[in-house]
């Protein structure tokens, strides 16, 4: 194209807490605006990311999407009713749905969809209060995947799931890994004093397996050093039931501290001072904290599950999350053996160099261009049979458990 490509990037997750997906989208937008020949339009809800308030290098469009629209049914109804008009009015060439679904039936331009994981699909009981919500979620994800020119995933692990579960042709599904940022200076002052600690960064939902993190620390204290502390992001009031039970008799233990939601500078300090990052998730679409830790010289102990072996490779210690003594022994190695610790720090920094937001944005731009020049997609295929308005589908029972 002779003029700049005008891309609308979906950033409606700005409504609510600053999630992992929100971090990915803000980094992607930051890098896309540096690409030649790309004009970015960021679609936000009623709330805009605070760090975007004074930006002038891209356009921010606020819309009526609010916190109450985040539930699966409300979201898909809003997208079918409001989103086509907003996209058309913005005068964009392409819409990038960055939030697992969100491509409406009457999308007026070609689209690209990013799926971060299929965890709610695989574990609906922990994500949806009603069957109706689950069916709306499945309708939105499957129909968005069908309507998009390309589906990108953040790992090969998720790519395989998308191809198998959503029945999307493999040629249209591409893994485009997340990137990682590094501190602006080589030296970052450690957080929380001089006493040694292990760090956990991430959410507190059941798949994060915080009960294993607490059990690992108990094992470490019993076997090796009762003085090692545990710092965790988040609020203990949001622990899953299993994790809450594991934490129950540790609530007054001064060796454990919850950090809330630190900003990027605060996280840099946490990584800088940690003896290791401990991440024992049972499922992850990517696992950004392990990459952030390695880029900052913090060695990693991670579960040998889901996408984590793909992201960590040989730059960290992979353990069975069901064997807490194995995780405790891995932490011990990183603390007691200076040579091995230094080797894993070197490996981690070198490995993280392969993950750059610039590379992610460049690959996304290539896909945008391919979507725009693909004659088949420019013609807009007819809606697949059964791909109906979700209001009619839910009320009539047309959406089944396999939808």
| Confidence at 386, pLDDT banded by 50, 70, 90 | very low
Q: Rounded to an integer, what distance in angstroms lies between the CA atom of residue 184 and that of residue 44?
A: 28
**Reported CATH class of domain 5-179+357-396:** alpha beta
Is the predicted pLDDT of residue 223 greater than 60, yes or no? yes
- Rounded to whole angstroms, what are the CA distances from 91 to 13, 243, 373? 22, 48, 18
In the chain, what are the domain boundaries? 5-179+357-396, 197-352
Q: Rounded to an integer, what distance in angstroms lies between the CA atom of residue 143 and that of residue 165?
A: 13
- CB atoms near residue 380 (< 10 Å): 13
Between residues 331 and 380, the one the model is more confident about = 331
- CB atoms near residue 140 (< 10 Å): 25
Record the tokens describing residue 7, joined without a space.
């891309």
Is the predicted pLDDT of residue 394 greater than 90, yes or no? no
**Topology (CATH) of 197-352:** Rossmann fold (3.40.50)
| C-alpha triplet 175, 160, 111: angle, nearest 5° | 50
Residue linked to tokens 């890994």: 177
Q: Work out the widest C-alpha separation in the chain, in whole angstroms.
A: 66
Is the predicted pLDDT of residue 298 greater than 90, yes or no? yes
Q: Which of 296, 279, 309, 278 is nearest to 345 (CA)?
A: 296
What pLDDT does 263 receive?
86
Listed range (64-73, 102-111, 175-184, 374-383) with the worst mean pLDDT: 374-383
Is the predicted pLDDT of residue 179 greater than 50, yes or no? yes
Give the three-class secondary structure for 28. helix
Between residues 182 and 228, the one the model is more confident about = 228
Is the predicted pLDDT of residue 160 greater than 50, yes or no? yes
Summarize pLDDT for 313-372 with one digit per residue, the tens: 999 999 999 999 999 999 999 999 999 999 999 999 999 999 999 999 999 999 999 999
Q: Fold match between 5-179+357-396 and 197-352?
A: yes
| Confidence at 389, pLDDT banded by 50, 70, 90 | very low
């Amino acid at each position: 194209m002779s003029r700049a490509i005008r891309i609308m990037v979906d950033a409606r997750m700005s409504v609510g807490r600053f999630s992992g997906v929100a971090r990915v989208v803000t980094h992607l937008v930051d890098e896309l605006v540096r690409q030649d020949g790309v004009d970015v339009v960021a679609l936000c809800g009623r709330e805009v990311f605070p760090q975007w308030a004074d930006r002038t290098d891209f356009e921010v469009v606020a819309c009526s999407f609010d916190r109450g629209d985040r539930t699966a049914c409300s979201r898909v109804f809003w997208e079918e009713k409001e989103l086509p008009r907003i996209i058309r009015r913005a005068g964009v060439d392409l819409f990038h749905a960055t939030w697992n679904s969100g491509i409406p039936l009457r999308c007026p331009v070609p689209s690209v969809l990013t799926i971060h994981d299929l965890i709610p699909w695989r574990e609906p009981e922990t994500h949806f209060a009603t069957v109706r919500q689950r069916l709306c979620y499945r309708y939105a994800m499957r129909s968005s995947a069908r309507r998009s020119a390309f589906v990108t995933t953040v790992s090969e692990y998720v790519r395989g799931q998308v191809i198998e579960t959503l029945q999307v042709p493999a040629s249209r599904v591409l893994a485009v890994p997340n990137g990682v940022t590094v501190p602006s200076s080589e030296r970052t002052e450690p957080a929380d004093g001089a006493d040694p600690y292990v760090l956990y960064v991430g959410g507190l939902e059941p798949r994060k397996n915080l009960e294993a993190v607490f059990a690992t620390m108990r094992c470490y204290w019993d076997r090796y050093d009762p003085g090692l502390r545990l710092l965790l992001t988040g609020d203990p009031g949001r622990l899953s039931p299993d994790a809450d039970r594991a934490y129950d008799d540790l609530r007054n233990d001064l060796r454990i501290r919850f950090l809330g939601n630190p900003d990027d500078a605060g996280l840099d300090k946490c990584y800088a001072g940690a003896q290791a990052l401990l991440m024992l998730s049972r499922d992850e679409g990517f696992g950004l904290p392990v990459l952030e830790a390695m880029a900052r010289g913090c060695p990693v102990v991670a579960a040998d599950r889901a996408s984590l072996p793909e992201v960590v490779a040989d730059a960290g210690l992979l353990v069975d999350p069901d064997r807490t003594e194995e995780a405790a022994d891995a932490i011990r190695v990183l603390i007691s053996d200076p040579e091995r610790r230094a080797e894993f720090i070197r490996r981690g920094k070198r490995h993280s160099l392969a993950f750059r937001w610039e590379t992610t944005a460049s690959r996304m731009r290539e896909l945008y261009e391919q979507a725009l020049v693909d004659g088949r997609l420019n013609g807009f295929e007819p809606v697949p049979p059964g791909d109906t308005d979700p209001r009619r589908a839910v009320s009539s029972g047309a959406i089944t458990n396999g939808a």
